[in-house]
Amino acid sequence: MSIHEFFNCNSVKCMKSGEFCVEVDNVKITFTLDFTLGPITEISLKSSNYKVNCKILFDSRKEKIISVDCYGFKADKICKSLKECFREKGLLYASL
């Protein structure tokens, strides 16, 4: 599964431009994606239209998301939306 496939579910959409959109309280927040590959892949999401950043850690050995942290505008709701998306796809580590 590619990293772009992680971000395609109900409130999280992959756009044709390669960016991602999370809709929270009828507000569309657009993110650019950057990642560092390794045993623990670090995925950084930075919003281009609001002041919010997210950091996601993915264990490539177990193929599970082990951490989702967001900071800034509507961070709690964005984090919750991302976790729900990952849970739907079976990617979220059980304790999150």
Is the Cα torsion angle 20, 85, 70, 66 positive or negative in sign?
negative
State the pLDDT confidence band at 96, using cuts at 50, 70 and 90.
low
Task: Give the model's pLDDT for residue 12.
Answer: 87
| Residue in this structure with the two tokens 């992959």, named with its chain if needed | 14
State the pLDDT confidence band at 1, using cuts at 50, 70 and 90.
low
Say what the pTM is. Answer: 0.88
55 found inside a domain: yes
Amino acid at 61: R
43 found inside a domain: yes
* Strand partners of residue 72: 52
Looking at residues 43-71, what average pLDDT do you find? 94
* Count of the separate structural domains present in the chain: 1
- What is the residue range of 29's domain? 3-88
Would you say residue 33 has pLDDT above 70? yes
7 found inside a domain: yes
Q: Locate all alpha helices (DSSP H) within 1-96, ordered by sequence.
A: 3-6, 75-88
9 found inside a domain: yes
73 found inside a domain: yes
Token pair in block for residue 13: 């959409």
Give the burial class of 6: count Cβ atoms within 10 A of its Cβ; 0-12 exposed, 13-18 middle, 19 or more buried: buried
80 found inside a domain: yes
95 found inside a domain: no
Would you say residue 95 has pLDDT above 70? no
